[in-house]
Amino acid sequence: MIKTQEQFRHEVIQSIKTMFPEWKTEPKDEFAISINANGRDGRMNLHNLYNEVQLQREPKQVLIQYFLLEFAKVIGNTENHLDNWEVVKNRISLVVRPTDLYSECLPRDYDKQLAFTLPILPDLALYWVVENNNSWQYITNAQFSQWKMHSGEVMWWAYENTCKAEECMQTAEIHEDGNTVGLMISTKKKLGNVSHLLYETRNLQSFIQSELLIDQPEQPCWLCIPVPNLIVVAKEGCDEVIRKISLLAQEHYGKVLSNKIYVFSNDNFTGEVINQTDQKKPIIMDIQGRIPELVLPG
């Protein structure tokens, strides 16, 4: 069993050197590897692979090799499929990822810059992506310009596709001392996320209230986002539940989306859970902010 993410990244790089010696690799922050394959640049995020290796019974090297082969297909076909809007429009969607992902994709060449990013939290943002061969491809200005589409219409397609992909969201109640204190909202989709719920927080609140059967609609809920395909909800006042969730998420998944696990009240974020090495349990720090509410084109 691999003990640290850095050890795992080193092992993946060694596998790349064996399978694709012509590729140029460089470690990146946020648990990623930058790739230059025959003049084409790519960024390999390792979080999903790392989690899969930890959870699956298949041999680790088999999973790594499969992942690299799929990535090779993606980076080999990127220019062929992302320039055609008719091919892309049913596969484009929204994802929540770290804001520094955008800053890392800001080369001097304008065409290679990402076409869309929308910060929704201090260190998390929405992005346009196209799913291809069990991986995500982020949309650059050059690709967007080929579509000859208005950004509002692209956003509409991305939002609709994200909602459809998450129609099979599952929920599970969190119990403590015989009481329902929280809710987990997840999707089984391999590249799943819950970005459309964060995009329209009123829908999120309505969904939570219907699932938790809250008697008082105005009662706020607290939410945290530990992993890409999961939102955890705890009723206001259940601080201990949030602390426990924070520890479990960090222990099981490591640094996936954010150093922070946010606490929300409706569409305002009101705090963050901080894990400090010199303290026995996480503390909840007060912060104030609001998720921007945008209107999709009608």
- For 246, residues 6+ apart whose C-beta sits below 8 A from its C-beta are 224, 226, 261, 273, 275, 282
Q: In 9-27, which positions are buried (b, 16+ CB within 10 angstroms) versus exposed (e)?
A: beebbeebeeebeebebee
Residue 69: which residues within 8 A CB-CB, separation 6 or more? 19
H helix count then E strand count, the chain:
10, 14
pLDDT number for residue 298: 44
DSSP 3-state of 279: coil
- Relative to beta strand 117-121, strand 124-132 is antiparallel
Task: Report the distance separating Cα 216 and Cα 214, nearest Å.
Answer: 6
Nearest-angstrom CA–CA distance, 78 and 88? 11
Is the Cβ–Cβ distance between 16 and 72 less than 8 Å? no
Q: Alpha-carbon distance 298 to 290, whole Å? A: 24
- What is residue 200's predicted lDDT score, i.e. its pLDDT? 77
**Four-residue CA torsion sign, 40, 86, 96, 112:** positive
Ranges under pLDDT 50 in the chain: 297-298
* Residue 234 and residue 222 in contact, taking contact as beta carbons nearer than 8 Å: yes
Cα angle 210, 215, 219; round to 5 = 85
Instruction: Kindly report the average pLDDT of the chain as a whole number.
Output: 78
Per-residue pLDDT, 138: 83
**138: number of CA atoms within 13 Å, CB side?**
25
Helix (H, G, I), strand (E, B) or coil at 112: helix
Characterise 248 by phi-psi region: left (phi > 0), alpha (psi -120 to 50), beta (else).
alpha
Provide the whole-model pTM. Answer: 0.70
So what's the pLDDT on residue 134?
Answer: 59
Decide: 72 and 66 in contact? Cβ < 8 Å.
no
